[in-house]
Amino acid sequence: MDYKFDRGSHSVYTLNYHLILCIKYRRKVFTNPDITNELMERAREIAKNHVVKIISQEVDKDHTHILFSANPNTNLLKFTNVLKSGTSKAIRHRYP
């Protein structure tokens, strides 16, 4: 298996994370393709703002899997909080 290593000024690293986000009460929300497209688009925008690269994103009816890579200085707690709240607010606002 080949790894793609990223380089900092004094470090070499490869940090990949697998994030699973579930809908409250496991409601089947992601049956509408417009909602899934909105989710993926918002997630990519938020990741770009936090210097995080989304490698893969899959959406099922009641949850989503996001595989992303980040550098060691990334505040993962802040990124996940912004990702969860930002996508949730946008989807609830556009699709009541």
Which CATH number does the domain housing residue 72 bear?
3.30.70.1290
Burial class from Cβ neighbours inside 10 Å (0-12, 13-18, 19+) for residue 24 reads: exposed
- Domain encompassing residue 71: 16-94
Can you give the pLDDT at residue 9? Answer: 87
How far apart are the C-alpha atoms of 55 and 52, rounded to whole Å? 9
Over the stretch 12-53, which tens digit does the pLDDT of each residue have? Answer: 999 999 999 999 899 999 999 999 999 999 999 999 999 999
Distance of CA 8 to the CA centre of its chain: 23
**Residue 27 falls inside a structural domain:** yes
How do residues 51-61 score in pLDDT, each as one tens digit? 999 999 999 99
How sure is the predictor about 66, in pLDDT bands with cuts at 50, 70 and 90?
A: very high
Within-domain flag for 11: no
Residue 1 has pLDDT above 70, yes or no: no
Q: What is the mean pLDDT of residues 1-22?
A: 89
Structure-block tokens of residue 78: 């802040």
- The pTM of the full predicted model, rounded to 2 decimals, is 0.87
pLDDT at res. 96: 82
- Structurally, how many domains does the chain consist of? 1
Asked whether 53 and 93 are in contact (CB, 8 A), the reply is no
H-helix or E-strand spanning residue 62 = none
In a domain, residue 7? The reply is no
Does residue 57 lie within any of the structural domains?
yes
